[in-house]
Amino acid sequence: MSAHLSIRNLIKRFGGLTATNDFSLEITPGSSVGLIGPNGAGKTTIFSQIMGEVRQDSGQIALDGLELTPLATARRIRAGVSRTYQVPRPFAEMSVAENIRVGLMPDNIWSMIAQGPDPDRELELALSVGFTKDQLEKLPSELSMGDLRKLEMARTMATGPRMMLLDEVFAGLTVGEIAMISGLVQQMRADGMTFLIVSHDLKALEPLIDRAVAINHGTLIADGPYDEVMNDAAVRASYLGT
Amino acid sequence: MGLRWYHFALWAAFAAGMFLLPEIVPRGTLRTIIFANFLAIFAISWDTLSGRTGYVSFGHPFLIGIGAYTTAILTKRFDVPVEISIPLAVLMTMVGGLIVLLPALRIKGSYFALVTLAMMELMYQLVQVIRPDLTGGTRGMSGLPTLTRGAVNGFYMSTALMLSIAFTTWLLMKTRLGTALSAIGMNEEAVAGSGLSVTRLKLVAFTASAFTAGLGGAVYVHYLGSIAPRALFDINFVFTIIVAALIGGAGTTIGPILGAFFLTFLLEYLRPWLPGAERYLIYGGVALVLYMYQPKGLIYLMGQAVRRVRKGAA
């Protein structure tokens, strides 16, 4: 279930702006890393490059030794890495169950046609992120922001990842919802899932990670245990503004 | 999304009702229904690609034209029997359409619509100037072999074809493939983010759409016994197909059929009062009002009515 992510010398420029500047990172199987930094530091751009939604200018990204760079997003997901988005992206006219169904689909046209959906698995995933059974037929327009994030989690989990990238997974959630998602992440960690988590909610993030990585202007400025990173002078100067 | 026994019962009742029509309605009405059937086939074809995935095609006659011209040329110029020329025409539509339009599937929104519109216009110009000895040039071709004679036989043939295409499309769209295609129309990035190859899915939608367009186009010319480029590659024809799907209910299978019948009969009933092109003004107005009132189309209005009746009965 675990995966080993290796990022080496990643560089991405948008015109004159260097969004990712020679960024390297190793995440060992089953560990959980927090990616922190101020707004615009380049955290989401790193996620997008890992998923192939944005192509790096140079550098390598490998999952368990498999070079991801030439692969399209769908192939990377099938290789075992999946992500959530800062702004949830539900299928607006599909119910909660149907949204999860899309994540559960095999990337094979004949299997899509020949095999029916798996309502038990859809229900299991929905319940695991905290939905109730009677919410399965609800449309995204009827859900709160917290529920939309849960739906995003469920659809991401449905793709069967060994590594999950969570982007601002706590934004807009209530205290109860944060506790619920945290519990879910902890449970998946216990099962061996590898995580890379971006969150501005440091209080919620701290108990979920083994180590923190701080970046600013796309450059890695600190990497180590959470307390050490938060006390790092460069991190305090750039991220905390002190 | 699941299949229920009553779905099949409703299809059976629909088919039975259609096939009983020659006993009830006059010959003139049957002829109108034949045209409605063909329009329904073209609208289903358009909807398979555009209604589901959101890739709006303004050049569907391009695909219909490949099917129609292939079979017309094969039968007229090379004496190929219709039983062979029609499958070849369908194959040609799928292959030819793919070669030409496949690159266009990588572009989105209005650009895709413009490219498809350009393809239709290009085909219109090409059939007139390239090998007019084969295509018949601006005059097209007449005297093509016909599949049936008389309104009743034509009705049975077109109805059987329309129902077969509609039922097969409906079954296909009830599978997870249909769900995935609809998901593309809602959020293409999220489909890719769910681990599905969007390009492959669009390719399937396009191929299925081309199959239906090619088959419909090929059979249509052998119903008419003639082919005229000006009528086929006409912008009014494009709009009629799109409007049929939209006012009937895009993203559904029954919607385009409802829309096609509604439009065909509307145009037909307007004919005694407005024999000229003014009819299109009225039909455009009616379509606009209907679409503004309920963008989900007639199928949704019917669903609402059924729900109200059920509620009243309960």
Residue B221 lies in a domain: yes
Q: Which residues of A176-193 are buried (b: 16+ CB within 10 A; e: fewer)?
A: ebbebbbebbeebbeeeb
Q: Are A105 and B179 inside 8 Å of each other by CB?
A: yes
Instruction: For an interface test with B, give the residue of A50, A68, A73 to mutate (most B CBs within 10 A).
Output: A73
pLDDT recorded at residue B129: 83
- pLDDT tens column, B156-167: 999 999 999 999
pLDDT recorded at residue A242: 54
Q: Which two tokens stand for residue B99?
A: 């070669």
pLDDT recorded at residue A30: 93
Q: Are B196 and A105 inside 8 Å of each other by CB?
A: yes
Instruction: For an interface test with A, give the residue of B106, B176, B252 to mutate (most A CBs within 10 A).
Output: B176
Q: Which two tokens stand for residue A204?
A: 């919620």
pLDDT cut 70: percent of chain A above it:
98
CA–CA dist A74, B194 (Å, integer) = 7
DSSP A168-203: STTTT--HHHHHHHHHHHHHHHHTT-EEEEE-S-HH
Task: Tell me the shortest Cα–Cα distance from B166 to chain A, in angstroms.
Answer: 17
Beta strands in A3-103 (DSSP E): 5-14, 17-27, 32-36, 58-63, 66-67, 81-83
Counting one residue from A and one from B, how many pairs have CB atoms under 8 Å apart? 89
Residue B223 lies in a domain: yes
Mean pLDDT of chain B: 91
3-state secondary structure B15-77: HHHHHHHHHHCCHHHHHHHHHHHHHHHHHHHHHHHHHHHCCCCCCHHHHHHHHHHHHHHHHHH
* pLDDT surpasses 80 at B242: yes
Q: Comparing A10-14, A72-76, B73-77, B122-126, which segment has the lowest mean pLDDT?
A: B122-126
Q: Are B189 and A89 inside 8 Å of each other by CB?
A: yes
Count other Cβ atoms within 10 Å, centred on residue A164: 24
CA–CA dist B242, B170 (Å, integer) = 19
* pLDDT surpasses 80 at B285: yes
Q: Are B186 and A92 inside 8 Å of each other by CB?
A: yes
* pLDDT surpasses 90 at B107: no
> Domain range spanning residue B201?
5-234
pLDDT cut 90: percent of chain A above it:
80
pLDDT recorded at residue B75: 96
Average of pLDDT values for B210-222?
Answer: 97
CA–CA dist A216, A220 (Å, integer) = 7
Fold exhibited by the domain A5-240 = Rossmann fold (3.40.50)
Q: Are A109 and B175 inside 8 Å of each other by CB?
A: no
ipTM more than 0.85?
yes
pLDDT recorded at residue B279: 80
Residue B296 lies in a domain: no
User: In Å, how far are A105, B59, B170, B182, B246 from B56, measured between CA atoms?
Assistant: 25, 9, 20, 13, 11
Question: What is the CA B29 to chain-centroid distance, rounded?
Answer: 20
* pLDDT surpasses 70 at A239: no
Closest among B213, B187, B181 to B53, alpha carbons compared: B181
Q: Are A94 and B183 inside 8 Å of each other by CB?
A: yes
CA–CA dist B51, B48 (Å, integer) = 6
From chain A, the residues in CB contact with B194 under 8 A are: 77, 102-103, 105, 155, 158-159
pLDDT recorded at residue A117: 92
Q: How confident is the model at residue B256 (pLDDT cuts 50, 70, 90)?
A: very high
Which carries the bigger pLDDT value, residue B209 or residue B108? B209
* pLDDT surpasses 80 at A2: no
From chain A, the residues in CB contact with B193 under 8 A are: 51, 53, 73, 77, 82-83, 85, 89
CA–CA dist B198, A52 (Å, integer) = 14
Facing residue for B195 by CB, picked from A53, A77, A112: A77
Residue B314 lies in a domain: no
Residue B71 lies in a domain: yes
Q: Are B175 and A98 inside 8 Å of each other by CB?
A: no
User: Are B119 and B113 contacting, i.e. CB atoms less than 8 angstroms apart?
Assistant: no
pLDDT recorded at residue B109: 78
pLDDT recorded at residue B276: 77
Q: Are A92 and B187 inside 8 Å of each other by CB?
A: yes
Average of pLDDT values for A57-85?
Answer: 95
- What residues have CB less than 8 Å from B109, skipping those under 6 apart? none
Residue B111 lies in a domain: yes
User: In Å, how far are A83, A131, A182, A199, B236 from A174, measured between CA atoms?
Assistant: 22, 15, 12, 15, 54
- pLDDT tens column, B61-103: 999 999 999 999 999 999 999 999 999 999 999 998 888 777 8
Closest among A74, A135, A73 to A99, alpha carbons compared: A135
Q: How confident is the model at residue A236 (pLDDT cuts 50, 70, 90)?
A: confident
**Which of 156-175 (A) contact B at CB < 8 A?**
158-159
The gap between the terminal CA atoms of chain A, to the nearest Å, is 40
- pLDDT tens column, A114-163: 999 999 999 999 999 889 999 999 999 999 888 999 999 999 999 999 99
Tally of domains in chain B = 1
Q: Which two tokens stand for residue B248?
A: 């009937």
Q: Is A103 on the interface with B (CB under 8 A)?
A: yes
Facing residue for A112 by CB, picked from B1, B175, B191: B175
Secondary structure (3-state) at A219: strand
Task: Tell me the shortest Cα–Cα distance from A220 to chain B, in angstroms.
Answer: 27
Q: Are B194 and A112 inside 8 Å of each other by CB?
A: no
Q: How confident is the model at residue B311 (pLDDT cuts 50, 70, 90)?
A: confident
pLDDT recorded at residue A240: 57
Phi, psi of A67 (to 5 degrees): -70, 120
Instruction: For an interface test with B, give the residue of A84, A105, A110 to mutate (most B CBs within 10 A).
Output: A105
Q: Backbone dihedral region of A130: left (phi > 0), alpha (psi from -120 to 50 degrees) or beta?
A: left
Q: Is A115 on the interface with B (CB under 8 A)?
A: yes
Sign of the Cα torsion B47, B50, B51, B56 reads negative
* pLDDT surpasses 90 at B179: yes
Amino acid at B289: V
Q: Backbone dihedral region of B137: left (phi > 0), alpha (psi from -120 to 50 degrees) or beta?
A: left
* pLDDT surpasses 80 at B314: no
